[in-house]
Amino acid sequence: MKRIILIISLLLTFQAFALPIPSAPNLQARSYHLTDFHSGTVLASKDADLKLAPASMTKIMTALIVFRELNHGNLKLNDQVRISEKAWRTPGSRMFVEVNKFVTIDDLIHGMLVQSGNDATVALAEHIAGDESTFAQLMNQVAKDLGMKNSHFTNSSGLPDEQHYTTARDLSILTRALIIESPELYKINAIKEYTFNGITQQNRNKLLWRDSTVDGVKTGHTEDAGYCLVSSAVRDNMRLISVVMGTDSVSARNDTNQTLLNYGYRFYKTHLLYKAHQSLTSARVWKGAQKNLAAGLSKDLYLTIPRNEYKSLDASLELTPQLVAPITKGQIIGTAVIKLNAKVISKTPLTALQSIPEGSFMDILKDEVLLMLE
């Protein structure tokens, strides 16, 4: 049976003049991955699934768990955390907390994200899970739930361990979750310096000074990991996430991220095509209490395409034939197909925007007759 196809012209089909899209830059890093935040489109990538030491970029995962605890009401920013000797003795970058002193969750988050304090990070992990090894189990469960297929964590801070690794792709997934779930708390990543215990330390992400559109996310460095950086920026309502792993200097990680961001913004544009729950078309329903059903998408539909090619987009809405009641709100009843220059670039389920119960005996009988005549 043929599917019902409704063609919707987004704009005129002539193609505006556009610069050709050059291939993504080949940069000196062990791995990198550039994606659009809203659409998830990959704009540039090199060895994105290579398992590497993440160093302090691990703290993005710790932050996600802490933020979830705050969002769920299990923690409050003014809660006091007692600093253990283990947290105090943790090597590497420090917030300079003091053993057996009490520090607020708020201060510890700033110490972890702005000052990259390993001591603050361990203190938060212990406060949430009792000890760091138990917290690492939480980290691995969250990674699994997010679809981070090539990650394994053994500690909260990113200190070297052969069994502690992730990938550029997985860090991109993690960062997107952090921004989606906690947009207000995420803003801490943009703070350029923080003072605690009389000691002022600057954020190690120097792109915050270089590029006003950058608002995060986290640096990392160990001998094994090299110099790493997850960055994110917003220009003209388009957010990109850039992950760079394994460069040989601070300047190299900054330059590589900046190059990737500039490439993405120069040659691509993200468009919101349809809003969630917006009625896009109406479907005929048989044997129902009403005849017409509004159809739309369950989520906003974003597309990232080459700049100046919006006019080359076409959309078709394919509805399942002979929809029979009862219909449940959210039920898949078709597909929205988006083409760019006649090539399919997106297929998204069309869903029922309302429920329609079965009609009366006469409604059912009448429609059965009409269906036999179709």
Separation of alpha carbons 160 and 54, rounded Å: 9
Does any domain span residue 62? yes
Residue 55 belongs to what H/E stretch?
none
Number of domains making up the chain: 2
Separation of alpha carbons 315 and 311, rounded Å: 11
- Residue 295 and residue 218 share a domain: no
Q: Which of 31, 39, 45, 59 is catalytic?
A: 59
Residue 15 belongs to what H/E stretch?
none
Of 57, 64, 49, 38, residue with least CA distance to 241: 38
Residue with more model confidence, 373 or 319: 319
Q: At residue 15, does pLDDT exceed 80?
A: no
Does any domain span residue 8? no
- Could you read off the pLDDT of 36-74 as tens digits, one per residue? 999 999 999 999 999 999 999 999 999 999 999 999 999
pLDDT of amino acid 169: 98
Q: Is 346 assigned a catalytic role?
A: no
Q: What is the mean pLDDT of residues 71-83?
A: 98
- Residue 289 and residue 196 share a domain: no
Q: At residue 248, does pLDDT exceed 70?
A: yes
Of 153, 141, 203, 177, residue with least CA distance to 64: 177
- Residue 174 and residue 73 share a domain: yes
Does any domain span residue 268? no
Separation of alpha carbons 231 and 224, rounded Å: 20
Interacting residues of 157 by C-beta distance below 8 A, sequence separation 6+: 56, 58, 59, 62, 90, 92, 118, 121, 122
Q: Is 45 assigned a catalytic role?
A: no
CATH of the domain at 69: 3.40.710.10
What is the three-class DSSP state of 312?
Answer: helix
Q: Which of 45, 84, 116, 182 is catalytic?
A: 116
Residue with tokens 């760079």: 244
One-letter amino acid of 64: L
Contact 193, 174 (CB under 8 A): no
Q: What is the mean pLDDT of residues 16-36?
A: 84
Residue with tokens 């990232």: 304
* 0.85 surpassed by pTM: yes
Separation of alpha carbons 228 and 247, rounded Å: 6
Range of the domain at 148: 43-226
Q: Is 59 assigned a catalytic role?
A: yes
Separation of alpha carbons 192 and 212, rounded Å: 12
Q: Which of 31, 39, 45, 56 is catalytic?
A: 56
The overall average pLDDT reported for the chain is 93
